[in-house]
Amino acid sequence: MATMFWEASAGRVFVVRLATGSDLVREIEHLCAEQSVIAAEVSAIGAVRRARYAYYEQPAHRYRELESATHHEITGFVGNVSERDGRPFLHAHATFADSDGATVGGHLLPGIEVFAAEVVIRELLDVNLVRVHDEETGLALW
């Protein structure tokens, strides 16, 4: 597969404070669905009570799911929203730091419990990003 690119234009910008106890991934997807955002760039900062993330095993084409049931700072979060199965899907990776500053991280899964989080969602317009199965990687890609 050759490199592909799209030119998008900037749309609305949502600046969000998530509720304590909410699900980091699901809440961002819910807000996007509610506001009809189907493409976006997402960043976030804050802290979580529990983290869930995954590592993609490239040869096996499957995710290894990991969980960290302690309090963490969100020390990095980058993601995007695109369309998957007809609705907004958040693809995000993050690092989480514990009380010693040690970090874990990966591909974010639902089930991350927010302590506090500030999120910025930058809508992308004039672009049609739909995830479909990619044979070579086993992933759902644009």
Contacts to Zn ion by CB under 5 A: 107
Distances (CA, A) of 35 to 16, 74, 106, 108, 138: 13, 25, 27, 22, 30
List the beta bridge partners of residue 103: 97
Please state the closest distance from residue 1 (CB atom) to Zn ion, in A.
17
- In the bound complex, what is the minimum distance in angstroms from residue 54's beta carbon to Zn ion? 8
Residue nearest to Zn ion (CB): 107
- Name the DSSP class of 27: H
**What's the closest the beta carbon of residue 100 comes to Zn ion, in angstroms?**
26
Comparing CB distances to Zn ion, the nearer of 7 and 136 is 136
Give the residue with the Cβ less far from Zn ion, 107 or 122: 107
State whether the Cα torsion 29-35-38-41 is positive or negative. Answer: negative
* Residue 73 CB-density burial (10 A; 0-12 exposed, 13-18 middle, 19+ buried): middle
Greatest CA separation found in the chain?
Answer: 44
Measured from the CB atom, is 84 or 107 closer to Zn ion? 107
Cβ proximity to Zn ion, 52 vs 107, nearer residue:
107
Minimum CB separation of residue 61 from Zn ion in Å reads 13
